[in-house]
Chain A
């Protein structure tokens, strides 16, 4: 049978999607344990979620949560930093510590024959870190040096300037890595105090996903973590501020990078929190606006204009309202035109050219049909569960995803575009050649850009 090349084949019947079945239990010390059986390969993914991230940093100590997270495996449970690293190496496990705005997540993926050894090490790391003073001094120096290096990395400069301009004095105003002055002033005692305050079994959840049954997974976690004593109850809850004073009037800022061949761009505003009832509609909006290759913004800036290697938009959903942002890197000469076109697209989706039925259908299809592949590997499943924990989402969130997205009409997209996108209040950050970019922006009708530095 030869191929009919006059048209593309249509999709076959939708495949059945199986979502992970989650078993939840709580240890007497308050530690929550969530397990999922994920068969196929001899692999286990463990994730520990502690709901304390960069937004829990004291106002004058940006970077404290991240440095504390980093200190956890610098010696623990009687092993020195090097011994602990060797013990992890012997089971082929690597520990990944991510400190985000709202949480610290530790991931340990390993071959399942090492599950008990891996859990024992993870328990040491969480419950019994040495928090040694000499290791602290060494790590702090490394982090300061890393920040020094990042002074020359345009995406990093752009992210830091954008967060600060957007959030002002809000806990989301700094990146988790903190700042050079803060790190230089940070003390060992502060790390110890932060650890005492934030790391407690009653606020922690362990997610275990892998090639074993629920009971085996649970028992293994329970054995490793049973001895973790709960701390003073009063210190347990750390609320995340959920309201942000809106920025009034748009601002354009340039971080100077003389002679740069490209400008690194960020344009955006405060968006929405993960628990917003508009979550699914915002996903559809973002997908067609700038969330995938065939979105309006990438097609305009990359495929039609050739200004960039790629452009995208994101609603960074967090416990509190996170940023909505457009990010791209465009050639220097095209910067002003790219900013103008980006703003045109951000405005047009609200009124002049609202989402069409076809665009909304494409975005819905892309989101819903692509959903099953987010549950392929054990680590993907563990990450999906961590979202439920962190944002306190209902158990049926995965099942609800497809119907909720499919219920988003193009009118609904237009409604959320008007409710959430406010181009007149957006902040623009450009890391680039100010001598070329600033005059060009003004001749495009933008206000005189403000020159800013990052530290």
Chain B
């Protein structure tokens, strides 16, 4: 499973990766800036994501919305911000590659002259609406605020969400936002992947032409937070406008690509992927005390966290769910998964991996993955080794990882219950109000 590519580092420090795939007459342009909410400061959160919005609002030489020319060219355009990185991508017909490169390079090199107070204020309103839509007005939407707040201490950069704290967004000034851009959005902190119906030599030449003259920018010091630990089990209670209570159990785990990360991914699959998975089978299928259950290894650059999330069936409390989950986890730690369970999880990962390679662009497509490997590991060609992490995992490796990381004494349990029904929560939970 090798993806052929070429990487060049331009004189200004910009990484350029090219991958040819001529099956469809399209090219993916994918740019990663190695900046996310973890580069923000307490009290000054939400900047990286707000910036993602501002990057579509015009630059010095094209001071209008970025969507018009790219949609006119038949392109698909998007971007996203998480704790560790911000990505911007277009998938354009082959003949529109230069339009995309012109625009992406203009906003990398010449954004600030076009950044005005009016644009800033408008996009801040859009972001506040995004927060209302996806967090405040969505059932269980504020649970992540409470959970991350408890898992990571206030000065740890994973303490807050990338959407930011509303008060921080309202307090942000244009000058601070400009300073944030100058610190992080430049060639030295970026990686450009071009994948699709192009030839390597001319793609590299085009990248050099459009991006080569941009000033490198200051060095960015990596963020290495002190590893967070929980001294004990933390139990929190959040009342929300929901019909059914939901339980979130979260543990600290290894970060992305670290030893143990793949094992936690596979364990998540063994626990909740499909009807025959352990927790689904026990809680939803056999005991019918939950309506749904999911497990996920959240792999981040500096640290990871594993979560089990289950929603109670009507008439059940979150204590019922916690007890059943703990029983299953204890059994997994004692016996480990079976060979059959592991093999099923492995082939699922292989299949998902191959499906991802079907697209040159978009979230999780080849260009995005080349950048992920390049930015986090310094090697875009990590496809085979990534897959090998899963292929080489053993049942004993999974058992040991479960034993080490899923410690009942060091975890955050958050109960989200209908308003006025605190008795449905896990007992001895402390009420919290999300900021």
Write out, one digit per residue, whether chain B residues 99-131 have a CB within 8 A of any chain A CB (1) or not (0): 100110110001000000000011001101110
Q: Is A89's CB under 8 angstroms from B347's CB?
A: yes
Question: What are the residues of chain A within 8 A of B358 when measuring CB–CB?
Answer: 40-41, 43, 376-379
Write out, one digit per residue, whether chain A residues 289-330 have a CB within 8 A of any chain B CB (1) or not (0): 000111000010011101111000000000000000000011
Interface positions of A from 336 to 393, Cβ below 8 Å from B: 362, 365-366, 368-373, 375-379
CB of A11 within 8 Å of the partner chain: yes
CB of A275 within 8 Å of the partner chain: no
CB of B242 within 8 Å of the partner chain: yes
- Asked, given contacts A5-B106, A11-B99, A92-B348, whether A306 binds B355 with beta carbons under 8 Å apart, the answer is no
Write out, one digit per residue, whether chain A residues 151-172 have a CB within 8 A of any chain B CB (1) or not (0): 1111000000000000000000
Q: Is B359's CB under 8 angstroms from A261's CB?
A: no
Partner of B311, one of A16, A141, A149: A149
- Asked, given contacts A5-B61, A294-B71, A376-B360, whether A148 binds B95 with beta carbons under 8 Å apart, the answer is no
CB of B35 within 8 Å of the partner chain: no
Q: Is B291's CB under 8 angstroms from A86's CB?
A: no
CB of B387 within 8 Å of the partner chain: no
Assembly CA distance A109 to B353 (angstroms): 12
Residue of B nearest to A1 (CB): B209
Partner of B213, one of A2, A146, A371: A2
Question: What are the residues of chain A within 8 A of B97 when measuring CB–CB?
Answer: 12
Assembly CA distance A368 to B77 (angstroms): 16
Question: What are the residues of chain A within 8 A of B82 when measuring CB–CB?
Answer: none
Residue of B nearest to A40 (CB): B23
Q: Which of B25, B242, B314 has the most CB of A within 10 A?
A: B25
CB of B52 within 8 Å of the partner chain: no
Q: Is A309's CB under 8 angstroms from B71's CB?
A: no
- Asked, given contacts A3-B209, A262-B129, whether A306 binds B122 with beta carbons under 8 Å apart, the answer is yes
Shortest distance from the beta carbon of A46 to any chain B beta carbon, whole Å: 14
Question: What are the residues of chain B within 8 A of A153 when measuring CB–CB?
Answer: 138-139
Assembly CA distance A417 to B274 (angstroms): 46
CB of A111 within 8 Å of the partner chain: yes
Q: Is A15's CB under 8 angstroms from B94's CB?
A: yes
Question: What are the residues of chain A within 8 A of B288 when measuring CB–CB?
Answer: 138, 141
CB of B241 within 8 Å of the partner chain: yes
Interface positions of B from 197 to 247, Cβ below 8 Å from A: 197, 209-210, 213, 241-244
CB of B76 within 8 Å of the partner chain: yes
Q: Is A15's CB under 8 angstroms from B71's CB?
A: no
Assembly CA distance A339 to B91 (angstroms): 33
Assembly CA distance A375 to B348 (angstroms): 24
Residues of A in contact with B, size category: 35 or more
Q: Is B71's CB under 8 angstroms from A362's CB?
A: yes
Q: Is A3's CB under 8 angstroms from B210's CB?
A: yes
Question: What are the residues of chain A within 8 A of B355 when measuring CB–CB?
Answer: 43, 109, 377, 379
Question: What are the residues of chain A within 8 A of B359 when measuring CB–CB?
Answer: 376-377
- Give the contact stretch, choosing among B11-19, B62-70, B404-412: B62-70
Assembly CA distance A450 to B34 (angstroms): 51
Q: Is B103's CB under 8 angstroms from A12's CB?
A: no
CB of B375 within 8 Å of the partner chain: no
Q: Is A9's CB under 8 angstroms from B354's CB?
A: no
Q: Is A376's CB under 8 angstroms from B137's CB?
A: no
Q: How many residues of B are in contact with the other chain, CB < 8 A?
A: 80
Assembly CA distance A51 to B187 (angstroms): 53
Interface positions of B from 272 to 318, Cβ below 8 Å from A: 273-276, 281, 284-285, 288, 291, 311, 313-314
CB of B379 within 8 Å of the partner chain: no
Question: What are the residues of chain A within 8 A of B69 when measuring CB–CB?
Answer: 8
CB of A14 within 8 Å of the partner chain: yes
Interface positions of B from 48 to 87, Cβ below 8 Å from A: 60-62, 65, 67-69, 71-77
Q: Is B75's CB under 8 angstroms from A88's CB?
A: no
Question: What are the residues of chain B within 8 A of A40 when measuring CB–CB?
Answer: 21, 23, 358
CB of B132 within 8 Å of the partner chain: yes
Question: What are the residues of chain B within 8 A of A39 when measuring CB–CB?
Answer: 23
CB of B149 within 8 Å of the partner chain: no
CB of B334 within 8 Å of the partner chain: no
Question: What are the residues of chain A within 8 A of B26 when measuring CB–CB?
Answer: 372-373, 376
CB of B388 within 8 Å of the partner chain: no
- Asked, given contacts A3-B105, A148-B314, whether A376 binds B76 with beta carbons under 8 Å apart, the answer is no
* Chain B residues close to A by CB (< 8 Å): 21, 23-26, 60-62, 65, 67-69, 71-77, 91, 93-99, 102-103, 105-106, 110, 121-122, 125-126, 128-130, 132-134, 136-139, 197, 209-210, 213, 241-244, 273-276, 281, 284-285, 288, 291, 311, 313-314, 340, 343-344, 347-348, 350-352, 354-355, 357-360
Contacts beyond the supplied A86-B340, A376-B358: 9 A-B pairs with Cβ under 8 Å: A6-B61, A15-B95, A40-B358, A43-B355, A85-B275, A148-B243, A306-B125, A362-B71, A369-B74
Show 26 residue pairs from A and B whose CB-CB distance is below 8 angstroms, ordered by the A residue: A3-B102, A5-B61, A8-B69, A11-B96, A12-B94, A15-B95, A17-B25, A39-B23, A40-B358, A43-B358, A85-B275, A89-B274, A90-B340, A91-B347, A94-B274, A110-B351, A145-B244, A145-B291, A146-B291, A148-B244, A149-B242, A149-B243, A151-B243, A370-B75, A372-B74, A376-B360
* Chain A residues close to B by CB (< 8 Å): 1-3, 5-6, 8-9, 11-17, 39-43, 81-83, 85-86, 88-94, 109-111, 138, 141-142, 145-146, 148-149, 151-154, 257, 260-262, 264, 292-294, 299, 302-304, 306-309, 329-331, 362, 365-366, 368-373, 375-379
Q: Which 8 A-B pairs have the closest CB atoms?
A: A369-B74, A92-B351, A306-B125, A15-B25, A12-B95, A92-B347, A89-B344, A370-B74
